[in-house]
Amino acid sequence: MQSSRIASVLARASSRAAAVARPAARRNLSSAADAAKGKVKEAAKTAEAAAEAAKGKAREAAKTVEGAASSAAGAAKSAAGGGGGGGGGGVILFGLLAGAGGYYAYTQGMLDSVLGKSDKAAEASSGDAKPAGKAPVPAYAAKVATAVESLIDDDDNRGPLLVRLAWHSSGTYAKGGSPAGGSDGARMRFSPEAKDGANAGLEKARALLEPIKKAHPDISYADLYTYAGAVAIEHMGGPHIPFRFGRSDFRSEAEIASAKAAVASGRLPDAAQGASHIRDVFYRMGFNDQEIVALSGAHTLGRCHTDRSGFEGPWSFAPTTMSNQYFDLLNKEIEKPGYWTVRKWDGPKQYKDPTGELMMLPTDMALIEDDKFRPYVQLYAKDEAAFFKDFAAAFATLLHLGVDEAKLGETA
């Protein structure tokens, strides 16, 4: 146990280094105006590859972890020092769109392929030809990302909290529903979503982001609440989450009510339930079983708080590092039934591991009880790269649910 803990801590140090390297590499690419594009791209690629390699090594064994961590740190350093600063010009059009302040009618329907289409668009836009009508990634994006990263650096627990904010902002979506829900509008600032028991504790996350909104008033709250979650995932060592700006905000509870856009409580999942409830909630958003399991892997991060949900404790030994540890721990029950047992306490039903330090919710256990969910748990327990790839795709889809395609800009 001790050595796995040490490995977790060291792996985390390495993940952090990798996480620093990747956004730095990304920003260097986006601000290539004053540098030879090819060169920067090459440098970024090398830095990213080195960071990935170091991260992989670190997870192997405690023996090799130290060396890997220092090489990741080296990679991070060279990536950070390797290119020009943040910023980059020529993004005024987006400011006009986002700052217009008007609230546009929602169109229904999920984005078919946030990833596929927009990646191609991003590639195309690195040359002279820009696809018509799509706002470029706003100039403030890199600065907002840096500000979110430093919030997390000041207190690790904020990373998971910001991921939960992004998810609960988006997870009210109902395909074809009226109201549609989803992240557009940033309705969680107002009743009824602000008072929804499922969102308890998220007022802290919103308050944390307030100074960033003040410093960068052009970003909408709706973009900020979702983008912060995407940045947090990557900063905690997870995959890059493709993100498109362009959401707009409701300005008051009355405005929400008159647009008939208020989403009543009950759309977010109830942790005390089982597989059929999970399917009801996530199928409503348009997700399939594989995506449901991938998204659930976010529970490697963070913890339950008795004063928020009534449940208590973290799911993993490294709750501020994105990894596949959640699946690894669930998989132990498949390999050795009885690994997870019902905790005897005054609180709601939850499970504990043999150390008594970790927990699982009834909805987490449903992923191994259900025949269709279980194979994905086993897959992700074995293959972290597959988990990261599938998580990035599903989380990106989640963050864009219900946002009118016409409002969304290029992929960051």
Q: Distance (Å, rounded) from C-alpha 59 to C-alpha 52?
A: 11
Residue 130 touches ligand HEM, criterion: CB under 6 A: no
Closest approach, Cβ 205 to ligand HEM, in A, equals 8
Say whether residue 181 binds ligand HEM (CB under 6 A).
Answer: no
243 contributes a contact to ligand HEM by CB under 6 A:
no
For ligand HEM, the closer of residues 123 and 210 by Cβ is 210
Q: Which of 172, 183, 199, 309 binds ligand HEM (CB under 6 A)?
A: 309
Q: Does residue 29 bind ligand HEM (CB under 6 A)?
A: no
Alpha-carbon distance 74 to 17, whole Å? Answer: 8
- Which amino acid appears at position 112 of this protein? D
SS3 content of the chain, % helix, strand, coil (to 5): 60, 5, 40
Residue corresponding to tokens 């109830």: 270
- Would you list the DSSP string of 279-320? HHHHHHHT--HHHHHHHHGGGGS-EE-TTTTS--EESSS-TT
Q: Annotated catalytic residue: which of 167, 315, 340, 400? A: 315
**Cβ–Cβ < 8 Å for 185, 256:** yes
Task: Give the nearest distance from C-beta 256 to ligand HEM in angstroms.
Answer: 24
Q: Is residue 262 a contact point for ligand HEM (CB under 6 A)?
A: no
Least Å distance, CB 145 to ligand HEM, is: 18
CB-wise, 44 or 278, nearer to ligand HEM?
278
At residue 406, the 3 state secondary structure works out as helix
Query: Applying CB under 6 A, does 301 fall inside the site for ligand HEM?
Result: yes
304 beta partners: 313
Q: Taking CB under 6 A as the rule, does residue 286 contact ligand HEM?
A: no
Short-list 215, 317, 310, CA closest to 271: 310
315 is catalytic: yes
In angstroms, rounded to a whole number, what is the distance separating the alpha carbons of residues 44 and 295? Answer: 28
Kindly state whether residue 13 participates in binding ligand HEM, applying the rule CB under 6 A.
no
224 binds ligand HEM (CB under 6 A): no
Residues near 374 by Cβ (< 8 Å), separated by ≥ 6? 334, 367, 368
- Residue 142 near residue 31 (C-beta atoms within 8 A): yes
Which is nearer to ligand HEM, 83 or 238 (by Cβ)?
238
Which tokens belong to 80? Answer: 């950070």
Q: Is 376 an interacting residue with respect to ligand HEM (CB under 6 A)?
A: no
**DSSP letter, residue 348:** S
348 is an interface residue for ligand HEM by CB under 6 A: no
What is the bridge-based pairing of β-strands 351-352 and 359-360?
antiparallel
| Site residue total, ligand HEM (CB under 6 A) | 24
Nearer to ligand HEM by Cβ, of 256 and 329: the residue is 329
Residue 232 makes contact with ligand HEM by CB under 6 A: no
Strand 359-360 relative to strand 313-314, pairing: unpaired
Question: For ligand HEM, which stretch binds (CB under 6 A), given 43-51, 91-99, 297-305, 342-350?
Answer: 297-305
Catalytic residue check, 240: no
Encoded one letter per residue, x for contact with ligand HEM by CB under 6 A and - for no contact, window 183-202 reads: ------------------x-
Smaller CB separation from ligand HEM, 28 or 321:
321
Q: Which amino acid type is present at position 395?
A: F
Residues 6+ apart with CB under 8 A from 283: none
Q: Is the peptide bond before 314 cis (omega within 30 degrees of 0)?
A: no
Among 168, 235, 240, 299, the active-site one is 168
164 lies in the site for ligand HEM, by CB under 6 A: yes
Q: Is 321 or 363 the residue whose CB approaches ligand HEM more closely?
A: 363
Which residues of the shown chain bind ligand HEM in the complex (CB under 6 A)?
160-161, 163-164, 167, 201, 269, 271, 278, 295-296, 298-299, 301-305, 308-309, 311, 361, 363, 395
Catalytic residues: 168, 315
